[in-house]
Amino acid sequence: MLRQGDIDNRIHQGSADAMLEGGRIHRMIQKSMGPDYHPEVSLSFDKDFGEYHLFIEGRADGILDKYMDEPKTSLELGQESFLEKSSLRPMIDEIKGTYRDLSKMKEADSVHLAQAKCYGAMYLLDRHYTDVDIRLTYCNMDTEEKRYFDTTYTYDEIVGWFYELLEMYRKWAEFECQWNVLRTKTIKSTNFPFEYREGQKDLAAAVYRTIVHGRKLFLQAPTGTGKTISTVFPTVKAMGEGKVSKIFYLTAKTITGSVAQEAFGTMRKTQGLKLKTANITARDKICFIDEDKRNCNPVACPYAKGHYDRINDAVYDLLISEDSFDRDKITEYAKKHQVCPFEMSLDMSLFADAIICDYNYLFDPFVYLKRFFADGKEKDYCFLVDETHNLLDRGRDMYSAALKKESFLSLKNTVKEYHPRIAGHLDKCNKALLELKRQCTSEYKVYDSIEGFITALNRLSTIMSEYLEDHDEGPCREEILQFYFDVSRFLTIYDLVDDHYVTYGEFAEDGGFILRLSCIDPSRNLALCMDRGISTILFSATLLPIQYYKSLLGGTKEDYEIYAKTVFDPKKLGIFIGTDVSSRYSQRSYDMYHKVALYIDSVTRAKKGNYLVFFPSHQYLYEVYSIFEEEFYDPEDTELLAQSSFMTESAREEFLSRFSTGNDLDLSSIIHMDLEVVEDKNVLGFCVMGGIFSEGIDLKNDSLIGVIIVGTGIPMVCNEREIIRNFFEEKGLDGFDYAYRFPGMNKVLQAAGRVIRTVDDVGTATLLDDRFMQGSYRALFPREWSGYRTVSTDSVKEAASQFWSGFDGA
């Protein structure tokens, strides 16, 4: 209610280490205040507004009051005692740890003062003192120097101010109360918005039961099971029964978030559901300012200037006007009220029943939504995690950190003229890394301890934090700030390191030395995040093998798993395995590339239509592309496209549009053979497996009738993969499965999943690698692939033609 002023990233915010140090400062001050000083006093206030109670609670850092141990009302004390008590004043103490130069502080922060005043008002309402002292104690966490700001308020002044604050908040509370009644009423009357497909009702019921029992559900849901609506609908119904207060729909990609938005929208349109949803779009994607001028401070951004003066009006305007706080609505209202759209989206999430956002807003230790999860307590939230197979690698990345030795030297040389103290500590860190580097005599070195470096790094972090808090501007400040973020991340991750991690050093391609904290098994960290809610539903069309994902994504024996039945006819997907080709490095040659090109030609000639071919790397793609272009390509019959190593978002959209439209588009960043598009041409797209076109695209009906997948998708051998392999082998598991085979087959399954998108679709998936016939790979095939056929370059065209002849119009 009392926010004001600007968004300003020049004002340094403390790190997690600073928060821990702040706790130490609190305890130090509290212990020094004597026997009449009572630390960590819980306070509360309950106001009856008729249709609802407003309950306010908080915890004062300290209260100085010798009567605290014998709380009595003024009537119980009697007139004489009341007079004695009224001659004394309690003191409410609010302690704030900081690295700021206290001599430059002119007054207490207004919001800090308001916080303490709330405690003072609640205390006087309970204790009936005639007045109260409000103290803000600021303590420099490095020097332990203290500065006090004291203000005295009468009972009428502070209680009157408190009641005015409640009145300011009242319209928000009343809206929330009335909305909850309306939302619950409409949820109870909401039915499943479609005719149930086979098995879909059982799937929705399983999701509901999982929520009721407070468990996790790992759901292998093949395309066509309607997994989005089958998870969203029962969760909404659980909200109507009071079992869930807020739904978080978590995605790895924007496009899957839009599918969730459609599911909520469908229930609104067809069932009259009243439910507010908020989409959180990444700051960089929703910002109004050009990227080269983007900076979140009042000098660089007009939306940052005075943001907090206008944001409450903006939020309330959108809140009472719309039920879907999607990207378009956020930007519309943010422009109307001249506020930051990203910060507005975060505020709108407070008033949303369902929040659609990226994984990192729950799982990332640096980005998670602190307004919901900072206290670490379990709440009645439900998490729906879409495309869960992506969470493993994302989880590893979010809980890992790295620092490069040469970065310390570079910054030292940059700042030494202006900040010799910082430069000195950078040099100490560099020397500690040099010692670790000397121990790395092979491809990589696993370390049992890096305590020497961590000691130096902690000191550097403190010195940098002091400088940033005292200087809003200055030479090299931006460089110091960015490096401070890297250091803070490393130290925060270091505090999490346990037997789920490997700490190792390796050499970069440029010869630089990198120290890594690598989270190999993120299960513990992810589970702790999911414990913030009562239930989590994790689902994907490619969650195989399901026990692999369950163990690494925080599942327990008590949690559930389901393999949902597909509603698609398996006979409509022809699975062919080419057994006379291999993508092994040892067998890569012109002859093998030529065989692959021949396979592509044979499959695409068996049935005219659009195809995607997925390769293990860009290099492999280019080798086959050049052969196919020279020997098999017919520009009169086929338009040939290829994914380049870097593609802009618009280029990706143009690439995909070729599969559904004949518009002549600018494909300057796409390798192609002919820009002229003839209506009955085939479109053949060459892509990289595991890349931007292998998942998250939805080419229905005749937009795509086949995929050709070259290789088993296994990642390249590298230090990271070998460390993963060794980690699991030391635990008695098959390290190759965990580091290579399972991740590779997931890429294969994702690529194959591009073909059949609706019950009417018919198509083929041709897998080119003899390893697919090994039992270890066939064991990873989905149930729907049981009718696969083996082929060779000589037989594939006939086999594909025979498959297509079984369908009308072939």
pLDDT at 676: 40
Query: Looking at residues 295-301, what average pLDDT do you find?
Result: 92
Q: What is the pLDDT of residue 809?
A: 55
Burial of 63 (0-12, 13-18, 19+ CB in 10 A): buried
- Three-state DSSP class for residue 200: helix
Binned at pLDDT 50, 70 and 90, residue 58 comes out as: very high
Indicate the pLDDT class of residue 474, thresholds 50, 70 and 90: confident
Residue 398's pLDDT is: 98
Per-residue pLDDT band at 66 (split at 50, 70, 90):
low
- Residue 566: the pLDDT is 82
How many whole angstroms separate alpha carbon 631 and alpha carbon 153?
89
pLDDT of residue 81 exceeding 70: no
Closest alpha carbon to 318 in 340, 342, 348:
348
The whole-number average pLDDT for the span 677-688 is 77
Give residue for tokens 């300003």: 8
Which amino acid, residue 193? Answer: P
Q: Which residue has the higher pLDDT, 83 or 599?
A: 599
The tokens for 551 are 């163990």
Lookup: tokens for 511: 């010869």
Of 314, 242, 254, residue with least CA distance to 285: 254
pLDDT tens-digit readout, 716-738: 999 999 999 999 999 999 999 99
For 246-290, write each residue's pLDDT tens digit: 999 999 987 778 899 999 999 999 999 999 999 999 999 999 999
- As a whole-number percent, the residues of the chain with pLDDT over 70 amount to 93
Torsion angle defined by CA atoms of residues 704, 710, 713 and 715, in that order, rounded to the nearest 10 degrees: -130
Q: Measured between alpha carbons, how far is 5 from 111 in angstroms, rounded to an integer?
A: 11
pTM: 0.90
Question: Does 469 or 494 have the greater pLDDT score?
Answer: 494
Name the average pLDDT for the chain.
91
Name the strands in the sheet holding 354-358, side by side, starting at the edge strand that comes first in the sequence: 324-325, 277-279, 354-358, 246-251, 381-385, 535-540, 216-220, 560-563
pLDDT at 19: 56
- Phi, psi angle pair for 496, to nearest 5°: -95, -10
Checking if the pLDDT of 175 tops 90, the result is: yes
Q: Do 754 and 707 form a contact (C-beta atoms < 8 A)? A: yes
**Residue 567: which residues within 8 A CB-CB, separation 6 or more?**
197, 198, 199, 200, 224, 225, 226, 759
**Which tokens hold the place of 783?**
């149930």
What is the arithmetic mean of pLDDT over 537-559? 96
Q: For residue range 313-367, what is the model confidence (pLDDT) as tens digits?
A: 999 999 999 999 999 999 999 999 999 999 999 999 999 999 999 999 999 999 9
Q: What is the pLDDT of residue 298?
A: 93
The one-letter code for the residue type at 680 is: D
Asked which of 29-33, 498-502, 625-629 is least confident by mean pLDDT, the reply is 29-33
pLDDT tens, position by position, 594-605: 999 999 999 999
| In the predicted structure, residue 512 carries a pLDDT above the cut 70 | yes
User: Is it the case that residue 104 has pLDDT exceeding 80?
Assistant: yes
The DSSP secondary structure of 68-99, one letter per residue, reads TTS---HHHHHHHHHHHHHTS--EEEEEEEE-
Q: Would the pLDDT of 232 be above 50?
A: yes
Instruction: Say how far apart CA 446 and CA 439 lie, in whole Å.
Output: 10
> Residue 526: how many CB atoms within 10 A of its CB?
28
- Pair 20, 27: CB distance under 8 Å: no
DSSP 703: G
pLDDT at position 587 over 60: yes
Instruction: Please tell me the predicted confidence (pLDDT) of residue 675.
Output: 38
Is 80 exceeded by the pLDDT of residue 79?
no
Spatial contact of 182 and 234, defined as CB atoms under 8 Å apart:
no
The 10s digit of each residue's pLDDT in 762-786 is 999 999 999 999 999 999 999 999 9
Q: Residues 139, 96: contact at Cβ < 8 Å? A: yes
Cα dihedral 366→367→373→376 (10° resolution): -10
Mean pLDDT, rounded, for 113-140: 95
**Mean pLDDT within 133-162:** 94
Residue 395 banded pLDDT, cuts 50, 70, 90:
very high
Q: How many CB atoms lie within 10 A of CB 91?
A: 18
Contact 446, 461 (CB under 8 A): no
Answer whether 90's CB lies under 8 Å from 63's CB. Answer: yes
Peptide bond into 545 cis (omega under 30): yes
Lowest mean pLDDT among 367-376, 378-387, 439-448: 367-376
Q: Residue 685 and residue 690: Cα distance in Å, rounded?
A: 15
181-187 mean pLDDT: 97
When mean pLDDT is compared across 194-198, 560-564, 575-579, 780-784, the lowest value belongs to 194-198
| Section 460-464 average pLDDT | 93
Tokens of 47: 């106001």
Average confidence (pLDDT) over 464-474: 84
Percent of the chain with pLDDT over 90: 77
Choose among 694, 700, 641, 693: nearest CA to 665. Answer: 641
Give which of 303, 257, 299 is closest to 280, Cα–Cα: 257
Rounded to an integer, what distance in angstroms lies between the CA atom of residue 263 and that of residue 267?
7
Structure tokens at 345: 């989206």
Instruction: Return the beta strands (E) in 373-512 as ranges.
Output: 381-385, 401-404, 444-446, 501-507
Tell me the average pLDDT across 603-620: 95
